[in-house]
């Protein structure tokens, strides 16, 4: 059974310039767990159960400020040519 999901932009952009972003939006700290057979689950996500997740980005210290964050090596690898 196919399911159609209508995407609606909400206009939020994560930015290192915090005073230029809408203060009504926030950053949620979540953990992505990859299980056997590549099934994934989210822990700590601020969402309603059963709603779609549109975009997940890795934590990157240059733009975010989470104390004692653990940044996996693959994040550095994909970001090395970004700047």
The rounded distance, in Å, linking the Cα atoms of 54 and 31 is: 16
In angstroms, the Cα distances linking 31 to 11, 40, 81, 83 are 24, 10, 25, 26
Closest Cα to residue 34, out of 26, 25, 43, 24? 43
The set of residues, in sequence order, having a beta carbon less than 8 Å from that of 49 and lying 6+ positions away, is: none
Give residue 22's pLDDT.
47
Q: What is the mean pLDDT of each run of 10 residues along the chain (83 residues)?
A: 52 51 53 55 63 67 72 79 71
Domain ranges of the chain: 11-79
Give residue 29's pLDDT.
60
């Amino acid at each position: 059974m196919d399911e159609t999901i209508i995407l609606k932009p909400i206009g939020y952009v994560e930015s290192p310039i915090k005073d230029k972003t809408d203060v009504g939006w926030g950053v949620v700290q979540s953990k992505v767990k990859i299980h056997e057979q590549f099934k994934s689950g989210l822990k700590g996500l601020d969402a309603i159960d059963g709603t779609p997740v549109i975009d997940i980005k890795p934590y990157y210290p240059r733009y975010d400020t989470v104390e004692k964050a653990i940044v996996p090596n693959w994040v550095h690898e994909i970001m090395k040519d970004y700047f």
